[in-house]
Homo-oligomer: A and B are copies of this chain.
């Protein structure tokens, strides 16, 4: 009888190129996982059929048939309320339409319920379920990757807003005069500065604008990883790029604190690995720009989840709430 009580969930993280899936137990162990291409087809039905096939294989391999409680999906432009993926330019099959993803996938999976949200919200749920935000009722998750995503938790629940799309903090406006244009078309978005792309852009701009010596000058192409490597080697310009990036993040974090007074801000994603260079300028700017009552009170934390599992864990955590 014990096996009946043992339940599992599936976590699915859909990215532009690949989709990661895993079977997860209640303690946050990823029992088995697999990766499929997201960009092999322009037809969402074909993608969902392929995905369902992989899941069936995965479930069989993990020997948990009949014990899967639910499926959680993290996807760009995912709407929690409706289970739809809406106008997702980064998905080859999702560009110009509203896809009833949760419903379609559930149908292919013999009616197993499917919950869906965007990747940053999924990361927040994952952090609250398995990570450093365990036990926290109020925190803000910031994902620093190619873009800047966010998941806001208030009173123990992710904020979805009136329409299901709340928490686009990467597109709030960085406090810069004549700000940079962002990929979204707006000017001055936080994401245009504080993402991996933004870091590389800052470095490129500064290299062009000045004659300051820097090891980055010898490179054909600048990426945030290369700026990080240069900073590691003590390159002054690279170090200042991170200082500037941290300052902008800290300034906006002060705004976010004034909004929801969180217990902590939790950082996650590739760029968060530059903690050694970002942490101090973020804290400084955050505390300088926040009202005295929150000065040195709000924690700045870094996700501790194993990078390779984190996306699956985040999405899977959604399914426990089903």
Interface residues of A (CB under 8 A from B): 87, 137-138, 152, 154-155, 157, 159-169, 171-173, 175-177, 179, 184-186, 188, 251, 254-256, 258-263, 289, 291-294, 297
Residue from A157, A159, A188 with most neighbouring chain B CB atoms (10 Å): A159
Copies of this protein in the complex: 2
Nearest B-chain residue to A139, judged by Cβ: B162
Q: A266 CB to closest chain B CB, in angstroms? A: 13
What chain B residues lie within 8 Å of A168 (beta carbons)? 258, 291
Taking a contact as CB atoms under 8 Å apart, the answer to whether A292 and B155 are in contact is no
A95 smallest CB distance to B (angstroms): 14
B259 engages A256 (CB within 8 Å)? yes
With both beta carbons as reference points, the residue of chain B lying nearest to A166 in the complex is identified as B261
Q: How far does the Cβ of A152 sit from chain B's closest Cβ, in whole Å? A: 7
Q: Please tell me which one of the listed residues B166, B176, B254, B255 contacts residue A260 in the complex, with CB atoms under 8 A apart.
A: B166
Q: How far is the CA of A171 from the CA of B257 in the complex (A)?
A: 10
Of B87, B160, B188, B263, which contacts A162 at CB under 8 A? B263
A207–B260 Cα distance when bound, in Å, is 38
Question: Shortest distance in angstroms between A282's beta carbon and chain B's nearest beta carbon?
Answer: 15
Q: A259 to chain B: closest CB distance in Å?
A: 5
B residues within 8 A CB of A261? 159-167
Provide the bound-state CA to CA distance between A157 and B260, in Å: 13
Closest-CB distance, A137 to chain B (whole angstroms): 7
Nearest 7 Cβ contacts at the A-B interface: A161-B261, A166-B261, A177-B177, A162-B263, A172-B255, A138-B162, A168-B258
* Besides A167-B261, A184-B291, A184-B292, 11 other A-B contacts (C-beta < 8 A): A137-B162, A138-B162, A152-B260, A154-B159, A162-B261, A166-B261, A167-B260, A171-B291, A172-B254, A175-B176, A259-B260
Contact indicator B263/A165 (Cβ below 8 Å): no
A sample of 29 inter-chain contacts (CB < 8 A) reads A137-B162, A138-B161, A152-B260, A154-B159, A154-B161, A161-B260, A161-B261, A163-B294, A164-B261, A165-B261, A165-B293, A166-B260, A166-B261, A169-B259, A171-B291, A172-B254, A172-B258, A172-B259, A173-B175, A173-B251, A175-B175, A175-B176, A175-B179, A175-B188, A184-B291, A186-B289, A186-B291, A256-B259, A259-B259
